[in-house]
Amino acid sequence: MCMSLSGEIIVIFSTAPSDKSESLVRMLLDKKIVACVNVVPVHSYYRWKGEFCSEPEHLLIAKTTKEKVKDVITAIKAHHTYEVPEIIALPVIDGHPPYLEWVHQEIQR
């Protein structure tokens, strides 16, 4: 069961301004398109429109199912304050079967 469920679970990474991350997380959970989201303080360095940028942000690590990935991406884009938000989806290749089952059940409710 683990191998079949692991292919259905996706982890989505997105960064957000520290003061906006909780509202993004609550929106994703309220829509029932993610099972949970970890929020980690990070400091991002990047170039934007030719300028060097250094910003404190929150990294959102959301767990969802393959069938809900497009919904999560659409929701983040619609509610995000960045012109081009980071949204990266990675497949889960294996994991703890009870946890993978829990993620799947949370999305199905």
Sheet holding 51-65, edge to edge: 36-48, 51-65, 9-17, 88-91
Distance, CA of 68 to CA of 46 (rounded, Å): 29
At 1 the pLDDT is 42
pLDDT digits (tens, 9 = 90+) for 42-60: 999 999 999 999 999 999 9
Tokens of 90: 């990675």
Distance, CA of 72 to CA of 33 (rounded, Å): 6
Q: Which residues pair with 66 in a beta bridge?
A: none
At 18 the pLDDT is 95
At 4 the pLDDT is 63
Measured from the Cβ of residue 66, the count of other Cβ atoms closer than 10 Å reads: 14
At 109 the pLDDT is 74
Domains identified in the chain and CATH numbers: 2-108 (3.30.70.120)
pLDDT classification of 2: cutoffs 50, 70, 90: very low
Considering the chain, what percentage of its residues have pLDDT values greater than 90? Answer: 91
